[in-house]
């Protein structure tokens, strides 16, 4: 939320408030890609459920990278 004590002008505060309102709208909601942390519209994100969490990916490249890293980590943990 805009903070009047941060030295921003009333116009900047209004702009920040409008941006916050838009971000709160479901059709404008964004999420961070699990791999590259890029902010992407939630409606366009690829998802994967993992251990009670939903993970978001900006595209198949990041999803594949995450899958490869996850398989490598599981192999190391399960090694005798």
The predicted pLDDT at position 77 comes to 46
pLDDT along the chain (80 residues), means of 10: 67 83 68 88 78 84 89 55
Q: What is the DSSP string of 10-27?
A: HHHHHHHHHHHHHHHSGG
- pTM given for the model: 0.47
Chain center to CA of 30: 6
End-to-end CA distance of the chain: give it in Å, rounded: 51
- The pLDDT assigned to 51 comes to 66
Given phi > 0 = left and psi -120 to 50 = alpha, else beta, which region is 51?
left
Confidence (pLDDT) at 48: 78
């Amino acid at each position: 939320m805009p903070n009047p004590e941060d030295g921003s002008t009333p116009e900047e505060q209004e702009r920040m408030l409008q941006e916050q309102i838009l971000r709160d709208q479901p059709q404008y909601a964004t999420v961070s890609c699990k791999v590259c942390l890029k902010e992407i519209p939630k409606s366009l994100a690829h998802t994967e459920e993992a251990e009670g969490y939903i993970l978001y990916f900006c595209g198949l490249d990041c999803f594949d990278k995450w899958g490869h890293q996850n398989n490598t980590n599981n192999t190391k943990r399960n090694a005798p």
